[in-house]
Amino acid sequence: MTNPRPLTREELAKFLPDQRSIRAFEQLFEIIPGDLTILVKLIEEVGIDAVSAMARAESNSAALLRIAEALELLTSAPVEPEIKHPVVDAIDVNRYAPIGYARGRIWWNDFDDTLNIGHKNEVVQQVGQETYMHVENVTGSLIPNGSVVGFAGVNGYIKCAPYIADGLLPSEYFIGVLTQDLADGEIGMATLYGRVRDFDTTGAAAGEVWAKGDILYASPTVAGYFTNVRPTAPNSVVIVAVVMVVSATVGEVMVRPVVPIGLAYATYYSTIDQTLAAANTPYSVTYNTAGAAHDVSLVSGTSLKVDQAGLYTVSVKLQVTSSNASSSTVYAWLAKNGLDIADSRADFTIKANGDTKLISYTYQISLLINDYIDIKWAGDTTSLILDAIPATAFAPAASSASVFLTQIQL
């Protein structure tokens, strides 16, 4: 049926009893003219003709009046002209509908007790139980479903690449776990929170055996992999997921990342003797051996430069030997960015020739990014040395100096 032309007031008067009803119909023409004219046409087609059959019109006038009153109520209600879809109070979804995935489809998931949303590449999101991020693969090769990924730049979308927790890449760069195979250059979904399914969760790829309930960490040895062995420093500890289903093909993990903040630390030693060229003159303690370090670097063999701002503890150990028969005093203190730190000095006295004393003290200091500290020392005589003692048959060597820098608060 083709839509008829809108009715005139004269034509409306043929079957409407009064001006009030006519006005109600005219207002409806402004809102839903096509539907209303079709309604009127249908009424005409079924034989309601007030002009030729007055008696029949009178018998139907009450029904028509009720229609007019209902439509008048409709026209008096607030209406947003731009809304073109039905407004309903509630929608009931069939809990057991025999349907599956389709992109753009919403359907009930009775197992997870929520709605499913079908995304591209057969990704199905459980509403309220999973959170995704759009990421772009920029690696040059496919990244498999179930891979741990991290931040690799921005270009409209967040770029991603397999993440490795070896301490070289900041733990803050961790993103989540891919919930699909992601081809090079493709944009897809990484799960920030929720379940990732249908990949190998046996642990075989990592040379491990995983069990249901195992906590999985970002691997410090293979980019994109998990491990159920908690990494240790200098590797990063990034808790990623827990194993839900163990399977080589239909495995499942629950992603719930916890990224502990990696505090900075460093240990440096000196394995050689250090002497004073002049009495009562400051010198910087030097180091030639590095222990474990994270976000701290040694500059020019003397300065410890930090990459993170925060509160640090500095622990200093100096092994001093005197070759003077008289009492000798050794001084030690800290310098920050080349300037002596007030009240950071400690004095020690050695009273006999050949005596060795281990000088140890701790200091706390607030540092900004790229700040550096030096350990300074001096003596009232040049007969004092920082003494590196060789190993014996039963004991290891002793360093002449060591420093431990530990970040204790961001």
The bridge status of strand 157-162 relative to strand 131-137 is parallel
Q: Is the pLDDT of residue 351 over 70?
A: yes
Phi, psi at residue 41, to the nearest 5°?
Answer: -60, -40
> So what's the pLDDT on residue 129?
74
pLDDT tens for 257-290 read 887 777 889 999 999 999 999 999 999 999 999 9
Taking the CB of residue 320, how many other CB atoms lie within 10 A of it?
23
Q: Is the pLDDT of residue 310 over 60?
A: yes
> So what's the pLDDT on residue 31?
45
Calculate the CA dihedral of residues 322, 327, 328, 331 and round it to 10 degrees: 120
Tell me what the mean pLDDT of segment 203-231 comes to. Answer: 95
| Integer Cα distance of 53 and 60 in angstroms | 11
Query: Do 278 and 405 reside in the same domain of the chain?
Result: yes
Mean pLDDT check: name the lowest of 19-28, 55-64, 260-269: 55-64
Mean pLDDT check: name the lowest of 115-119, 207-211, 291-295: 115-119
Single out the residue in 243, 258, 273 at which a domain terminates: 258
C-beta separation of 366 from 310 below 8 A? yes
Mean of the per-residue pLDDT values for the chain?
84
> So what's the pLDDT on residue 109?
84
Query: Do 235 and 299 reside in the same domain of the chain?
Result: no
Tally of structural domains, the chain: 3
| Integer Cα distance of 236 and 165 in angstroms | 5
The amino acid occupying position 228 is: N
- Report the percent of the chain where pLDDT is more than 90: 53
| Integer Cα distance of 63 and 349 in angstroms | 114
Query: Do 242 and 274 reside in the same domain of the chain?
Result: no
| Integer Cα distance of 113 and 116 in angstroms | 10
Query: Do 282 and 375 reside in the same domain of the chain?
Result: yes
Query: Do 246 and 370 reside in the same domain of the chain?
Result: no
Residue found by looking up tokens 């007019």 in the block: 68
Q: Higher model confidence: residue 116 or residue 37?
A: 116
Query: Do 206 and 300 reside in the same domain of the chain?
Result: no
Q: For 142-273, where are the E strands, in sequence order?
A: 148-155, 157-162, 174-178, 187-199, 215-218, 226-227, 239-245, 251-258, 265-270
Q: Which helix (H) or strand (E) holds 385?
A: strand 384-386
Nearest-5° Cα angle at 364, 363 to 366: 140
Query: Do 291 and 370 reside in the same domain of the chain?
Result: yes
C-beta separation of 215 from 242 below 8 A? yes
Phi, psi at residue 190, to the nearest 5°?
Answer: -115, 135
Domain that holds residue 50: 9-76
Query: Do 272 and 398 reside in the same domain of the chain?
Result: yes
**pLDDT level of residue 185 (50, 70, 90 thresholds):** very high
Q: Higher model confidence: residue 117 or residue 226?
A: 226
User: DSSP letter string over 86-112?
Assistant: ---S-----TT------TT-EEEETTT
Residue found by looking up tokens 């195992």 in the block: 214
Across 245-249, 321-325, 326-330, which has the greatest mean pLDDT? 245-249
Query: Do 226 and 269 reside in the same domain of the chain?
Result: no
Helix (H, G, I), strand (E, B) or coil at 71: helix
Query: Do 295 and 395 reside in the same domain of the chain?
Result: yes
> So what's the pLDDT on residue 325?
84
Q: Which helix (H) or strand (E) holds 297?
A: strand 296-299
> So what's the pLDDT on residue 169?
84
| Integer Cα distance of 124 and 106 in angstroms | 10
User: Could you check whether the bond before residue 234 is cis, i.e. omega within 30 degrees of 0?
Assistant: yes
Asked, for residue 96, whether it belongs to a domain, the answer is no
Q: Is the pLDDT of residue 137 over 90?
A: yes
Q: Higher model confidence: residue 186 or residue 258?
A: 186
> So what's the pLDDT on residue 262?
74
Its pTM surpasses 0.75: no
Tell me what the mean pLDDT of segment 345-363 comes to. Answer: 89
- Report the percent of the chain where pLDDT is more than 70: 79
Residue found by looking up tokens 């402004």 in the block: 30
Q: Higher model confidence: residue 123 or residue 289?
A: 289
Q: Is the pLDDT of residue 57 over 80?
A: no
**Which class for 80: exposed (0-12), middle (13-18), buried (19 or more C-beta within 10 A)?**
exposed
Single out the residue in 76, 104, 119 at which a domain terminates: 76
Q: Higher model confidence: residue 337 or residue 4?
A: 337
**pLDDT level of residue 292 (50, 70, 90 thresholds):** confident
> So what's the pLDDT on residue 157?
87
**Which class for 247: exposed (0-12), middle (13-18), buried (19 or more C-beta within 10 A)?**
middle
Query: Do 274 and 205 reside in the same domain of the chain?
Result: no
CATH number for the domain spanning 381: value is 2.60.120.40
Q: Is the pLDDT of residue 32 over 50?
A: no
Query: Do 196 and 315 reside in the same domain of the chain?
Result: no
| Integer Cα distance of 11 and 28 in angstroms | 15
The amino acid occupying position 336 is: K
Radius of gyration of the chain (CA): 40
Q: Is the pLDDT of residue 225 over 90?
A: yes
pLDDT tens for 66-89 read 666 655 655 555 555 566 666 777
Q: Is the pLDDT of residue 245 over 90?
A: yes
C-beta separation of 150 from 158 below 8 A? no
**pLDDT level of residue 175 (50, 70, 90 thresholds):** very high
> So what's the pLDDT on residue 219?
96
